[in-house]
Amino acid sequence: MTQVEQAGDCYMIQVKENKPKLLEHCRHVGKQFPLAGAVNYDASHGFVCTRKAQLQVINIADIDSRWEKSGLQTLVVMNRETFNKSTHTVSNETAYYLSNYQKLNSYFPIQNELKILPSKSSEVNVPVISDKWF
């Protein structure tokens, strides 16, 4: 992460259960009123999916000093609701991502500017932000 930051590039990583203190902090910050957000709808393969992204400013260096040089300062809270057309069931999932993206206050879409690091979550493969801000 530090190498990407030093190169001047943007990146995003998912916060997972193996960092419980960081995940809990992200959950807490994610409950606050977002600075920006977007909604994306997708209907394919028998599913209707609604993704709601919220952007927050976060200071993770307060949690652990080893992240101080990472440049991480933006929290993306991705809420995904999926309706299965065949079973008529609804599932909900919330994922948390951290980014070193620095233009948060400019309210520009960031999906084309971020380099997504590999993750087992399929959430990483969807646009994080759309043109429809709320």
Two structure tokens written together for 34: 């977002």
Spatial separation of the C-alpha atoms in residues 23 and 52, rounded to whole Å? 19
18-22, 59-63, 106-110 — which is least confidently predicted?
106-110
Q: Which residues of 55-79 are buried (b: 16+ CB within 10 A; e: fewer)?
A: bbebebeeeeeebeebbbbbbbbbb
107 vs 5, residue with greater confidence: 5
Global pTM reads: 0.69
Helical ranges in the chain per DSSP H: 2-6, 20-30
Domains of the chain: 2-125 (2.20.130.10)
Tell me how far the alpha carbon of residue 62 is from its chain's centroid: 20
